[in-house]
C-alpha cells in the first residue's frame, strides 16, 4: 500500500485569477493499493463518496485508462483535513491523490509535466492542482491541453492564517456571479498587481502585498457571497496583516502575516467570537515547498 500526503492550496492570491496558486502546510492523507472493486473508507469520519463517484477513485481509474493499463479496482483510505468547498483546494487534493497514486502504482509511467497537464484537464484550471502537485508558488497558463508553468520555492517565515467560514461555497456558484466581460482598465489593474505579488513575495518586499492582492475581476463580486468578509479584512489589517484576500473561490479568507506577529491568530479568534462567529475556524499555515509526497 502506498501513502500520499497532499497539501492544501490557495489560488488566485488576489489579482492572479486562475493563474497563481501556492501550496500550504495543511494536508490530506490517502492510503491506496490495487484491489478488486471499489473499497473506500474514511479514517477520520468525514463523509466521502464510497463508490466509483469518489473523486480519488475516479481520477485514478481515468489515469489507468489513459495509460492503457488493466484496472480491477482500488482500496482507498482517506484522512480529510482540508475542508470541502471552502477555497483551500479540497477537490484538487483529491485529483492529485488519485493521479499521483495511480501513477506510482503503475510504476511511474507519467512524467511530471504530463501529470501537471492531466490534472488541469480534469479540474479545468491549474491554479490549485499545480501547486498541490509541485509545491511552492506556481504561475501557470493552461491553453486547454498543456500547462505552461513555473514553480518557485519560497523561503520565508511568513504565516498564512486562514479564516474558514462554517459554510460551503461551490466553485460553480462563485464563478456564476462573475461578469462575462471586463474593461481594459480593470484588466491592466489586475495584470500589474499579479506581477507585483510574486515579485514582492520572493524578494521580501512584503509591504507591497496589500496593494498586490487588490483585484477587480473576482473578489468584489465574490465578497457579496461571504457575510462579514469586508469586516474581517478590516480587522486583519488593523492587527498588522500584510495582506488579506479571498482564497480560491472562497469563502475562506486568507491573511498573510509576519512571523513576529505572534498574537495575530488569537486576535482574529477573539474578533470572530465577538461577531458571533464562534463556529468559524482560524488556521495557521506556512508555504509548503514540496507538494504531494508519495511513499
Task: Kindly tell me if the per-residue pLDDT of 145 is higher than 90.
Answer: no
Average pLDDT over residues 37-49: 94
Residues 256 and 164 in one domain: yes
Residues 94/59, Cβ–Cβ less than 8 Å = yes
Please say whether the dihedral angle defined by the alpha carbons of residues 27, 33, 38 and 42, taken in this order, is positive or negative.
negative
Domain carrying residue 275: 159-285
CATH number of 146's domain: 3.30.230.10
Residues 169 and 188 in one domain: yes
Residues 6 and 118 in one domain: yes
Q: What secondary structure does DSSP assign to the chain, as a single string?
A: -EEEEEEEEEESTTT-TTTEEEEEEEEEEEEEEE-SEEEEEETT------STT-HHHHHHHHHHHHTT----EEEEEEE--SPTTSSS-HHHHHHHHHHHHHHHHTTS-S-HHHHHHHHHHHHS-STTHHHHHH-SEEEEEE-SS-EEEEEE------EEEEEE-SS---HHHHHHTS-S---HHHHHHHHHHHHHHHHHHHHT-GGGHHHHT--SSSHHHHGGGSTTHHHHHHHHHHTT-SEEEE-TTSS-EEEEE-TT-TTHHHHHHHHHHHTT-TTSEEEEE-B-SS--EE-
Task: Kindly tell me if the per-residue pLDDT of 129 is higher than 90.
Answer: yes
Residues 179 and 236 in one domain: yes
Task: Kindly tell me if the per-residue pLDDT of 144 is higher than 90.
Answer: no
CATH number of 246's domain: 3.30.70.890
Residues 14 and 130 in one domain: yes
Cα dihedral value 197, 202, 207, 212, nearest 10: 0
Give the global pTM.
0.95
Residues 238 and 202 in one domain: yes
Q: What pLDDT shows up at residue 127? A: 94
Residues 11 and 139 in one domain: yes
Q: How far is CA 125 from CA 117, 221, 259, in A?
A: 10, 20, 32
Cell numbers standing for residue 211? 496593494
Q: What pLDDT shows up at residue 278? A: 97
Residues 13 and 38 in one domain: yes
pLDDT digits (tens, 9 = 90+) for 197-244: 999 999 999 999 999 999 999 999 999 999 999 999 999 999 999 999
pLDDT digits (tens, 9 = 90+) for 190-201: 999 999 999 999
Please state the domain count of the chain: 2
Quote the CA–CA distance of 98 and 133 in Å, as a whole number. Answer: 11
Quote the CA–CA distance of 273 and 14 in Å, as a whole number. Answer: 26
Cell numbers standing for residue 11? 489560488
Q: What pLDDT shows up at residue 286? A: 97
pLDDT digits (tens, 9 = 90+) for 152-176: 999 888 999 999 999 999 989 999 9
Phi, psi values for residue 120, rounded to 5°: -70, -35
Residues 95 and 202 in one domain: no
Average pLDDT over residues 252-269: 97
Local confidence band at 187 (pLDDT 50, 70, 90 cut-offs)? very high
Average pLDDT over residues 278-282: 98
Angle between helix 112-123 and helix 90-105 axes, rounded to 10 deg: 140
Cell numbers standing for residue 54? 469518489
Quote the CA–CA distance of 255 and 268 in Å, as a whole number. Answer: 10
Average pLDDT over residues 264-286: 98
Please state, rounded to an integer, the average pLDDT across all residues of the chain. 96
| Percent of the chain residues topping a pLDDT of 90 | 96
Contacts of 233-240 with CB under 8 Å at 24 or more apart are: 235/267, 235/268, 235/271, 236/163, 236/268, 237/210, 239/264, 239/267, 239/268, 240/264
Residues 254 and 175 in one domain: yes
Residues 113 and 15 in one domain: yes
Residues 95/129, Cβ–Cβ less than 8 Å = yes
Amino acid at each position: 500500500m502506498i501513502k500520499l500526503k497532499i497539501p492544501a492550496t490557495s489560488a488566485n492570491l488576489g489579482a492572479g485569477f486562475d493563474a497563481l496558486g501556492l501550496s500550504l502546510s495543511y494536508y490530506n492523507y490517502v492510503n491506496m493499493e490495487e484491489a478488486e472493486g471499489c473499497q473506500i473508507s474514511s479514517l477520520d469520519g468525514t463523509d466521502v463518496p464510497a463508490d466509483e463517484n469518489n473523486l480519488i477513485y475516479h481520477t485514478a481509474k481515468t489515469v489507468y485508462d489513459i495509460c492503457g493499463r488493466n484496472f480491477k479496482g482500488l482500496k482507498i483510505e482517506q484522512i480529510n483535513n482540508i475542508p470541502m468547498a471552502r477555497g483551500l483546494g479540497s477537490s484538487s487534493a483529491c485529483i492529485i491523490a488519485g493521479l499521483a497514486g495511480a501513477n506510482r502504482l503503475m510504476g511511474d509511467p507519467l512524467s511530471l509535466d504530463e501529470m501537471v497537464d492531466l490534472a488541469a484537464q480534469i479540474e479545468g484550471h491549474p491554479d490549485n492542482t499545480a501547486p498541490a502537485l509541485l509545491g511552492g508558488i506556481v504561475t501557470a497558463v493552461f491553453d486547454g491541453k498543456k500547462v505552461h508553468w513555473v514553480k518557485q520555492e519560497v523561503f520565508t517565515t511568513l504565516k498564512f492564517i486562514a479564516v474558514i467560514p462554517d459554510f460551503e461555497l461551490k466553485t460553480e456558484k462563485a464563478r456564476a456571479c462573475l461578469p462575462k466581460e471586463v474593461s481594459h482598465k480593470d484588466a491592466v489593474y489586475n495584470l500589474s498587481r499579479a506581477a507585483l505579488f510574486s515579485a514582492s513575495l520572493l524578494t521580501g518586499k512584503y509591504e507591497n502585498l496589500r496593494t498586490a492582492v487588490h483585484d477587480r475581476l473576482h473578489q468584489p463580486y465574490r465578497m457579496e457571497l461571504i457575510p462579514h468578509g469586508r469586516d474581517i479584512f478590516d480587522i486583519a489589517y488593523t492587527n498588522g496583516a500584510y495582506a488579506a484576500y479571498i482564497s480560491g473561490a472562497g469563502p475562506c479568507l486568507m491573511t498573510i502575516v509576519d512571523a513576529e506577529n505572534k498574537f495575530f491568530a488569537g486576535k482574529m479568534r477573539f474578533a470572530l467570537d465577538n461577531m458571533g462567529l464562534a463556529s468559524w475556524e482560524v488556521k495557521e499555515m506556512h508555504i509548503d515547498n514540496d507538494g504531494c509526497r508519495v511513499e
